[in-house]
Structure 1
């Protein structure tokens, strides 16, 4: 059976798939891409072989080549492969030999992003020190900050923040994607604060707020709450309560200036609409803070009169 592809190319499934991937995505002549020794050495962390190969000009010219290697199907650069495997010494050596740190694979992933996804702090720090974009690539739907927040890697998140990573969602907006083509935030699910709360990663939640994350929507662009999915949290505080987070999450949001009026009382029944019950202590902290907030506002307005 032959599979028809959108761009008119046919290939046979099974053993020929790897060959087809090489033909479609490798960015050098096929006779070069068939020699995968450079990529294989990066995969297994064989620094000495990398040193030997890169003494030759023919290999130095291929240091940024995307190729299918011995154990992989996705055409990648040697740096991307070494970062995925967490071979920090190889990552450092390849960069010093001229590897470009922000090249993306066919999925839009940078070497930094895959280092973060695979939990490799050393490789992450080496790439950041070498100037890798801490936000990853706008061609990929996720960011290093989002992933670190989701899995609770506070150490990696600290490194990303230290090198200037955005802690608020901006949909990777660039000068080319200004209105009317830019998108408004229509769901909190894409936000690092939300995902760290959903997975109860308090350390990451605190780090994001300390780094300046917006405590209401975790977004530095336009927000359209009317387009939020029906029944979904309307702000970060609402999400924290619905996900049954402990009181410390609520206290942090109060401390960093969250707008407590964004949470509607009708959403605060004895059980959240999600999978968890609202933490009673967290709810009490919220109600007390909101009561004090209203009292303070009343005093201020009385002073105006």
Structure 2
């Protein structure tokens, strides 16, 4: 009966609370080949569909990334969903890859297709080491996504006080309002 009337299909249901929507509904999953990691905040990535530079970032393969950059690949190359290698490394939590990319002067504040920066994705996925690296190298905590959420909104929604403290130390706007 539920499916017949549209219940349980996800259509027409009322919007969830802010925290649930922010942490679950706006995130994504990570797929490696045909396997799916059910973490709702990660990107939905099919490794076999990625370009070489993005694949190296997802796998955390610094040697391969170094070789690709020496061959002239763009450190800010975007995939079909406008994600850079930095976005992917921040989402997966490869702090060593994030550090490597930042040292190679990648752009820290580029938006992906969901209008989120690498800092927002690192905060949303609660990858504290990546957040620290990005903030130390000048990532802007004031940028907003399509809903007006800043990195601080994501940190508060994730109940991660240490990331909240870091963002405040780097002058995140505590009075920023979202939509």
Instruction: Specify which of 38, 49, 53 is matched with residue 68 of structure 2.
Output: 53
**Aligned counterpart, 2:85:** 78
- Aligned mates of 1:146, 1:63 — CA distance in 2: 28
Residues 15-36 of structure 1 show CA distances to partners (whole Å, capped at 9, x for unaligned) of: xxxxxxxxxxxxxxxxxxx871
Higher helix proportion (structure 1 or 2): 1
Q: Structure 1 residues 147 and 92, CA, compared in 2 at 3 Å: closer, same or farther?
A: same
Q: Is the 2:123–2:154 Cα contact (8 Å) retained in structure 1?
A: yes
Contact 1:108 1:140 in 2 (8 A): no
| Contact 2:124–2:155 (8 Å) recurs in 1 | yes
1:116 and 1:35 mapped to 2: Cα distance? 23
Tell me how far apart the structure 2 counterparts of residues 67 and 56 of structure 1 sit (CA, whole Å): 18
Query: Does 1:64 find its partner at 2:76?
Result: yes
Task: Give runs of aligned pairs for residues 73-152 of structure 1, distance below 5 A.
Answer: 74-137=81-144, 139-152=146-159
- Structure 1 position 131, deviation (Å): 0.4
Structure with larger Rg: 1
Q: How many angstroms does 1:160 deviate by? A: 0.4
Write the distance in 1 (CA, Å) between the matches of 2:97 and 2:147. 25
Task: Identify which of 51, 54, 63 aligns with 1:36.
Answer: 51
User: Which secondary structure state, in structure 1, belongs to the residue aligned with residue 70 of structure 2?
Assistant: coil
In structure 2, distance between residues paired with 1:35 and 1:156: 30
Give the aligned partner of residue 166 of structure 1. Answer: 173
Normalised TM-score (structure 2): 0.68
How far is 1:137 from its partner? 2.9
Aligned length: 131
User: 1:122-147: CA deviations, max 9, x gaps?
Assistant: 00000001100112335453221112
- Which whole-Å CA distance do the structure 2 matches of 1:37 and 1:50 have between them? 9
The answer for the alignment partner of 1:261 in structure 2 is: none
DSSP-derived class of the 1:51 partner: helix
**Structure showing greater relative contact order (alpha-carbon pairs closer than 8 Å, 6 or more residues apart):** 2
* Map 1:155-234 → 2, pairs under 5 A: 155-170=162-177
TM-score (norm 1): 0.41
C-alpha separation in 2, matches of 1:118 and 1:84: 6
Q: Match for residue 46 of structure 2? A: none
Q: Distance in 2 between matches of 1:135 and 1:98?
A: 20
